[in-house]
Amino acid sequence: MTFVDGPVTVRVPASSANLGPGFDALGLALTLHDTLTAQVVDEGLDVHVTGEGKDGVPLDETHLVVEAMHAAFDLLGGRPSGLRLTCTNQIPHGRGLGSSAAAIVGGIVLARALVEGGELLLDDAAAYQLAVDLEGHPDNVAAALFGGLTIAWIDGAAAEVERLETGVEVTVFVPPAAVSTAKARGLLPESVPHADAARNAGRAALLISALTGAPHRLISATEDWIHQGYRSEAMPESYKLLRKLRVEGIPAIISGAGPTVLVFARGVADRAPAGWTVHELQVDAGGAEIVRDDA
């Protein structure tokens, strides 16, 4: 196995999962990015982080990007003796915008690009499977890797994905405090009423139509009965904003495990509570991409 000379840079998008009724299945790549640059060096590990999360992440082998790179190198045939990694982060941590998925996907794509012929040794399907294995669920990593609107699922142990085009514009309201995914998942019940599951299934199907050609259906299509309400105690301000927006007829959802509120609309930034950050975004169609010097 031969490593390439010089640095390689990958840009990987944020993602929103669930999108209301599509729990653990639907994902949307967003135009908010982490930019990761890595280079094989003679020895050691040198990690630098700027931007979001810079004061809260480890700078050693336990950094999530490094862990993902090492896992990919193992599949590709072996780890290099040294690495230099720089992460320039725009994706907020612990806010339901796929920061861990971006780190995992970015690390895998970086490692593959640092190996001569890496895309032949580890194609997109294999990279996706590895990302799902590391993340534990497929929704965010599918969107981060492939871009656009994704439907992700597991057949046996195999990770599958269907990618769709959508031109929807979104606004995200990011609160100042994080909520851990583990805490948010811990609030979910072991089972939900059959009627709620049936309603969610219908709305998830409607949501695909709404996002790909019938946007006037978004307020109905984004209704959820199986996860957002159960998590409200962990993010009361987010849930309050969510209900306020929906009462006004604005299609709003909790992004991923929260607490970010995502709205399928523009011109609503003035609804943000004090201290929250607002981003007006589009769908990232490309997913994780290598940044070329001549780009």
Any known ligand binding at 191?
A: no
Q: Rounded CA gap, 199 and 197, in Å? A: 5
Any known ligand binding at 95?
A: yes
Q: Do domains 8-165+283-290 and 169-282 have the same CATH topology?
A: no
Cβ-based neighbour number of residue 90 at 10 Å: 18
pLDDT at 294: 54
- Which of 57-61, 169-173, 239-243, 290-294 shows the lowest mean pLDDT across its residues? 290-294
pLDDT at 181: 84
Any known ligand binding at 56?
A: no
Any known ligand binding at 98?
A: yes
Note whether 285 and 148 are within 8 A (CB). Answer: yes
Per-residue pLDDT tens digits for 119-170: 999 999 999 999 999 999 999 999 999 999 999 999 999 999 999 999 999 9
Per-residue pLDDT tens digits for 20-74: 999 999 999 999 999 999 999 999 999 999 999 898 899 999 999 999 999 999 9
pLDDT at 295: 45
Any known ligand binding at 234?
A: no
Q: What's the pTM value of the predicted model, to 2 decimals? A: 0.96
Q: Rounded CA gap, 71 and 265, in Å? A: 39
Share above pLDDT 90 across residues of the chain, in percent, rounded to a whole number: 95
List the chain domain ranges. 8-165+283-290, 169-282
Q: What fold characterizes domain 8-165+283-290?
A: Ribosomal Protein S5; domain 2 (3.30.230)
Q: Which two tokens stand for residue 94?
A: 């612990």
Q: Computed from CA positions of residues 180, 226, 152, 203, in that sequence, does the dihedral angle turn out positive or negative?
A: negative
CATH code of the domain occupying 169-282: 3.30.70.890
